[in-house]
Structure 1
Amino acid sequence: MNWQQAVERTVTGLGYDLVDCERGLRGLLCVYIDRTPGVVYPTGPGEFITVEDCEQVTRQLQRVLEVEGCDYERLEVSSPGLDRPLRRLDDFVRYAGSEIDLTLKVVFQGRKKYRGALRVVGDDPAAGLELVFQEGKESHVLGFVLDEVRDARLVPVVDFKRGSRRDAAAGGATQESGGHEE
């Protein structure tokens, strides 16, 4: 089993959503997790990743990666941040109604980058998604499918008077640890 499979199996086995995992410089292994809607977590209620969530996943990953013989120097487990990437169809469905930044793989009507409200079309999201965006005073709708997307991210919403849609814990929860050497 490779390190990516070990990470995915461990994170999803603990009930979290694996947003991304990547190797960085000098043996850094970064794992980005999110809470799954409807799951009750032992670290407490709420929809946002906490430091305790990151600690729990870090401890379990350290054990699994050692048993699997995966080589790394440091392990960092954190939330995906305020500008959470949307990669899978489930992500787009989960965040329908949210404002997103969308970058297409191919230029459409003179541009690749759009910002607008995400909508799911009909009963089958795989058949199509829409982005409702403003150009001047006019509202436009861009239909797209997942295969046409190079990058999609939530637009951070911060209200300094009332907090944000994604509270401070979501933007900054991180647990870092030393790693395992072969």
Structure 2
Amino acid sequence: MSTTQSERLRGLLEPLVSAADLDLEEIELSRAGRRRVLRIVVDSEEGVDLDACAELSRVISDKLDATDAMGEDEYQLEVTSPGAERPLKEHRHYVRAKGRLARFTLHEGGELVARILDLDDDGLDLEVPGVKGRKPTARRVAFDEIAKARVEIEFSRKDKKEEEA
């Protein structure tokens, strides 16, 4: 997608997404055969449910139909959340992932899987799980040390309500 079209779509859609109390994470335009696919990724502090995606999809569709932002060609609109293994790119992503297990690829090389305990403007306080019966260890990682980060799926993870009880 050209920068101009991307900027135009972001300018058009961001107010609609914000009005739904959501954050516009990504706009992706790709080809699927003859059709184009416009994928809008949204999120919030509480996450995004299917009903919110469906409602926002209707609002965005109406807005796109009322403008020439997508041109005359056919397109398919998808409004979705970042998913379970969401990438962590912005500071707000790390805030939302607090308490979650994440996989970090470090600039110095190597990977680290650890739980995000806390964070500030400079970096993260992590708990690295112990291996083979060893206790977990604390580690501090600065944001500028992280090349990539992604939330890991945990099948036996306690949710916040269980932890608070």
- Please report the TM-score for the alignment, with normalisation by the length of structure 1: 0.66
Q: Equivalent residue for 2:121?
A: 126
Find the counterpart in structure 2 of residue 152 from structure 1. Answer: 149
* 1:74 counterpart residue number: 76
Q: CA RMSD in A?
A: 2.6
- Given that 1:3 and 1:65 are in contact with CA atoms closer than 8 Å, whether structure 2 keeps it comes out as no
In structure 1, the residue corresponding to 2:92 is in which secondary structure? Answer: helix
* Cα distance between partner residues in 1 of 2:99 and 2:55: 31
Shift of 1:87: 2.0
C-alpha deviation, 1:140, in angstroms: 4.8
Alignment coverage as a number of residue pairs:
144
Counting strand residues as a fraction of each chain, which structure ranks higher? 1
Distance 1:12 1:119 in 2: 28
Q: For the structure 1 residues 157 and 52, does the alpha-carbon distance in structure 2 shift closer, same or farther, using more than 3 Å as the test?
A: same
Deviations 1:134-168 (A, max 9, x none): 464362514111x4433222211225xxx985xxx
Computing the radius of gyration from Cα coordinates, the structure with the larger value is 2
Distance 2:148 2:29 in 1: 19
User: Would the alpha carbon gap of residues 61 and 152 (structure 1) be closer, same or farther in structure 2, given more than 3 Å must change?
Assistant: same
State the identity as a percent.
22
CA deviation profile, 1:106-143 (whole Å, cap 9, x unmatched): 124xx1x211011324xxx1122233224643625141
Greater Cα shift, 54-63 or 1-10: 1-10
Query: Residues 164, 135 of structure 1: CA spacing in aligned structure 2 closer, same or farther, 3 A cutoff?
Result: closer
Gapped regions of structure 1 (runs ≥ 5): 38-47, 166-182
Structure 1 residue 68: deviation in Å?
Answer: 4.1
In structure 2, stretches of 5+ residues that fail to align are: 1-6, 160-165
